[in-house]
Structure 1
Amino acid sequence: MLDALHISIADQCLYGFAAGRLRLRLAVSTALNGPGERQGSGCTPRGRHRVRAKIGAGLPSGAVLVGRRWTGEIWTPELAAHFPQRDWILTRILWLSGCEPGRNRLGAVDTFRRYIYLHGTPDSEPMGVPRSHGCIRLRNADLLALFEQVPAGCPVFIDEAPCPQWQALPCTQGD
């Protein structure tokens, strides 16, 4: 079980830690618009977060989620061609909540109210390149494995540093 995640915007990687040791490294895709916390910015929020909700347990890989609910569809290239403007949220969701009032929590910078997730994306989408609308995209197979290793409440630190310099900083639990 992982007890902390660090997402580096600079190197487009997610690092998973257990007992202070690096256990996992996965390629991700953060926001095309870069880092930022404002509602409507299309940016990936920085700072301390936690996994507020885990959504999609038991769904098949490639399950299409809209409004955090399975549509009954499984992503295919044909489905993508039929809906070319969709921002595909697939397989699972790890929904983030900010821990720093005024930076990524409450008001116009609230990560949870911005619906910022770690989620699956079509395998045809590149990883290691900023392309999302603010969320953190992962390969579906990577997300399936990660989902099982991350408990609700797990700390997630997102920053621009190229290397994980993660320190155990608790989130505020009051919502």
Structure 2
Amino acid sequence: MKRLDKDVRHLKHVEAVAMQSAQIQAVKELMDKQQSQVTSYSAIIIGVGYAGFFALWSLVKDYPYPKLHAVAGILIGVSLLFYVGWEIGHMIYRVLQLNSISHDFRETPPIDPLKALGDRLNAIDQRGFKVWPWALIPSVVTGLLGGGILLAIFVLELSRKLA
């Protein structure tokens, strides 16, 4: 009877560990999906922001205030450099990391290749998400400042014409 009790407790423990492992895997997959969606969403918003900036630029290009136009152009240029630089740097980093994973798997195939690949990809993404704000924040701030200057030019001209 004691042996049966011990076996039942052991099976319950194994079941609990398996369930916890499955839950952890589900959480990891959900987090990966969320991070991917956040990245895609921010890329779309930034793209729409740049499109809006250039639409506003074409609207106010003939207005006076050449110094303000120059400052807005410099700010959007800096914004684009941060954003495009991040995208290119991140792409190169991921390619190098994927090549490293491929090499490692050829040299020493893991026991559970799917889990090992998932863990390595997750580690790559985690490092990228730690650096991401350092590119995103300056890109967004300089882009908003440039767009704000163009909007100010538009408002100044509109108020001057209406007065």
**Fold match (TM-score > 0.5):** no
More strand by share: 1
> Larger radius of gyration, structure 1 or 2?
2
**Structure 2 length-normalised TM:** 0.21
The higher-RCO structure (CA 8 Å, 6+ apart) is 2
